[in-house]
Amino acid sequence: MPFVREPAVAGYFYTADPTTLEREVDTMIESARPPQISGQLCGLISPHAGYLYSGPTAAYGYKLVQNANYDVVIIIGPSHRENFDNIAIFPGDSYRTPLGDVPIDDDVRSALAAATKKIVISSNGHRLEHSIEVQLPFLQRMLGKFSFVPMVMGDQRRANCEALAEAIATVCQKRKTLLIASSDLSHYHSYEVATQLDGRVIEDVRSFDADALMTKIEREEVEACGGGPIVATMKALSALGSQRIEILFHCNSGDVTSHRDAVVGYLSAAIFRSN
């Protein structure tokens, strides 16, 4: 009997109807106007709120992967609902969305878990977590069939980020990999304060400076619920030869709803290796 991770937020963060979901994702992709990048796309930073709020921002990144081919996709998300000390890869066969099942790459999963004791194969963090799930319908529409590795960071401390980055760089050295950091930015500040906080994150991302961003996170000078996934992704892809990051789009929920008293920030960025 296959061990399938059932959708946790279908009908809540995005529609549970497959036909409507396909149409909504396709519409967001068609509306996105990301800048052109010259090189091989290796990674994305993508938000994970409800599609009404962050879906159009996420579409800026996913439009760039349309019809691409990767040996494996790795998605790293934060744990919003469970506390644990390590980085957990789902132990089952697939993740399910209304658009179908996405198989998990067991070879890459096993290699990552063998690379460091900080990575474990466990359902911890996966049961109700939305940060990975909401990325999948975009990938299903853009890539068609693909396999992936879902990773949830229970603890985003610097040591875990560095161990995760090193493991990915080692395991994916000879694999064409798309690495996705799932993160929103600041949460529930005024529009003006959020713009300032998010600007500091974006500055370090644009500069490809993972250590500076990690330091700001440790000092609580910035906010990003997936700050650890962003740092680990930047470090891993730098080790794998990526040299540039392009900020594709950023906004906050106040830009979507016009309610500006308590907003959430969203960022889409592309990490790539120049030709």
Q: Under DSSP, is residue 233 helix (H, G, I), strand (E, B) or coil?
A: helix
Structure tokens at 25: 């994702």
Segments forming the whole domain that contains residue 31:
4-270
Element (H, E) at 119: strand 119-121
CATH assignment at residue 119: 3.40.830.10
Write the single-letter amino acid at 209.
D
| pLDDT tens-place string over residues 85-144 | 999 999 999 999 999 999 999 999 999 999 999 999 999 999 999 999 999 999 999 999
State how far the Cα of 198 lies from the Cα of 194, in Å rounded to an integer. 6
Residue 213 lies in a domain: yes
Q: Are 50 and 12 in contact (CB under 8 A)?
A: yes
State how far the Cα of 31 lies from the Cα of 135, in Å rounded to an integer. 18
pLDDT at 166: 98
Q: Is the pLDDT of residue 275 over 90?
A: no
Q: Is the pLDDT of residue 18 over 80?
A: yes
Q: Are 246 and 177 in contact (CB under 8 A)?
A: no
Residue 275 lies in a domain: no
The total number of structural domains that make up the chain: 1
The pLDDT-based confidence of 274 (bands split at 50, 70, 90) is confident
- Given CA atoms 29, 30, 32, 36 in this order, what sign does their dihedral have? positive
| pLDDT tens-place string over residues 210-220 | 999 999 999 99
